[in-house]
Amino acid sequence: MNSLAKLLAGAAISLSLVACVSGGNSSGEMEIRSGKIEQINPAQITSSHHTGLGAVVGGLGGLALGSLIGNGTGRDVAMAAGAIGGAFAGNEAQKNYDQPKPGEQIIVRLKSGVLVSVTQPVSSVLQVGEAVFVEGSGTDARVVPQY
């Protein structure tokens, strides 16, 4: 059973390292466009966390900790209890991050005439008619005022 615990601990470490890898443009360049705000509408921002990931990581952590306790059947029971308890705790911890947050949908008319919609956290400094920059693209896009 010791080799199974080592295998699962290695899998947990690999999973955590893979979660830290970021994709996308590695050159550090960002597209910036300019325009004026046409509308600001209230919106909800949903979580981007993967459902169930907290339970999986918590379960693997609990399994690894349980493998450190006892020998034989006692160790097996500790590993099972650790995996179940860790999965429950990981799932509860993830629920804190899954709540929708208040945001705003900002519609910007770029200088080219194209309308762009960006949903981001609420910003009290942005107003309709204000000149802004749209930084980035896709889910990473943000609207910031031109000063």
Render pLDDT for 80-139 as a digit per residue (tens, 0 to 9): 888 888 888 888 777 766 677 888 999 999 999 999 999 888 877 898 999 999 998 887
3-state secondary structure the chain: CHHHHHHHHHHHHHHHHHHHCCCCCCCCCCCEEEEEEEEEEEEEECCCCCCCHHHHHHHHHHHHHHCCCCCHHHHHHHHHHHHHHHHHHHHHHHHCCCCCEEEEEEEEEECCCCEEEEEEECCCCCCCCCEEEEECCHHHCEEEECC
State whether 13 and 60 are in the same domain: yes
Q: What is the pTM of this model?
A: 0.50
**79 plus 112 within the same structural domain:** no
Are 73 and 133 in a shared domain? no
Predicted pLDDT of residue 77: 86
Shared domain check, 80 and 20: yes
* CATH number of residue 136's parent domain: 2.40.50
Residues 38, 60, single domain; the answer is no
- Whether residues 142 and 104 share a domain: the answer is yes
Residues 60 and 89 in one domain: yes
Do 105 and 94 reside in the same domain of the chain?
Answer: no
Q: Could you tell me the residue range of the domain that residue 120 belongs to?
A: 31-46+100-147
pLDDT, residue 13, reads 63
pLDDT for res 109: 93
Give residue-wise pLDDT tens across range 40-87.
998 888 766 566 777 888 888 888 888 888 788 888 888 888 888 888
Task: Decide which of 81, 99, 117 is a domain's last residue.
Answer: 99
Split into its structural domains, the chain has a count of 2
